Amino acid sequence: MGLSPAGGGAITTVMVVCLGVFGPVTPLLARRIGLDRTLLAGLLVIAAGVAVRGLGGAPLLYLGSALAATAIAVMNVSMPGVVKQHFPDRVNLMTGVYVSCVVAGAALSSALVIPIEHGTGFSWRGVTALLAVPALLAALLWLPQALRRPEAAANGPRPFGAVLRSRVTWYVTALMGLQSLTFYVMLAWLPTIFLEAGLPADQAGYLLSLTNLVQVGTSLAVPVLAGRRASQVPYVVGACLLTVLGYLGVLLAPHDAAMGVDDRAGRRPGAPRSRWPC
């Protein structure tokens, strides 16, 4: 689409802004229509956003991304409440299950978009539209649950002022803000880093997929293990150290960090180039 690097990065920026703005709205929506119906609404909106971003030029790309991010914000806030509401005795296990499924879905889509593009002959617009299908299938699966009478929440919301006066609130806010910063930088630019290092587009997609795939096991295990400890600090510190080591590897030796791929693993002569916008 001829976007500049700043224009390409702005796609992710728009999404993150929507995550921050619309996340706090979710509890109000959930109290009005129920958590299950809020989650259904999120699935429908994300399908619409994914479809819209492939319809036209840059304005629709940004609009669709904003819609998708709004839905993601709503679902990110809804899912912990859904788990606590329906599985109050297995919160840690079911949290690990749903986070692992989210991560696995992200890994699968990152790995398959370029092969689907090459296999179907679709442009990036067509492949983008296909990514709305899983959201629609999930909405169809969730529809019977959403149509049931909403259940009353087990615990009412804590006063907002009390939450803000807690030091732990600000520690967690700072940690989550920094890890979100690093995550979205990698999400937006890791494929470009590998492309500029000489890897073909499909391998860059596989490597982005790998960064998500390795999270499946930890997402499933860590909530269960951490729930058995009085403090989660060791897990947080360990995650931060691993993140720093990974970034250093990508910075200092992107080919070696990319599963041992060297300069000879560049784009094959005659291999099709990706037609993705940025």
| Per-residue pLDDT, 40 | 93
Question: If we measure between CA atoms, which residue out of 126, 259, 134 comes closest to residue 197?
Answer: 259
Give the model confidence (pLDDT) of 81-119 as tens digits: 888 888 988 888 888 888 888 888 888 887 888 888 888
Confidence of residue 129 (pLDDT cuts 50, 70, 90): confident
Give the model confidence (pLDDT) of 185-200 as tens digits: 877 788 888 888 777 8
Phi, psi (degrees; rounded to nearest 5) at 65: -65, -40
Q: Is the Cβ–Cβ distance between 22 and 70 less than 8 Å?
A: yes
Whether pTM > 0.85 for this model: the answer is no
| Per-residue pLDDT, 252 | 81
Report for 39-53, 153-167, 206-220: range of highest mean pLDDT: 39-53
* pLDDT of 7 higher than 90: no
- Cα three-residue angle 87-224-245, rounded to 5 degrees: 135
| Mean pLDDT of the residues in the chain | 79
Question: If we measure between CA atoms, which residue out of 95, 72, 81, 83 comes closest to residue 23?
Answer: 72
Confidence of residue 43 (pLDDT cuts 50, 70, 90): very high
Q: Is the Cβ–Cβ distance between 274 and 121 less than 8 Å?
A: no
Question: If we measure between CA atoms, which residue out of 210, 204, 178, 175 comes closest to residue 189?
Answer: 204
* pLDDT of 63 higher than 60: yes
| Per-residue pLDDT, 152 | 54
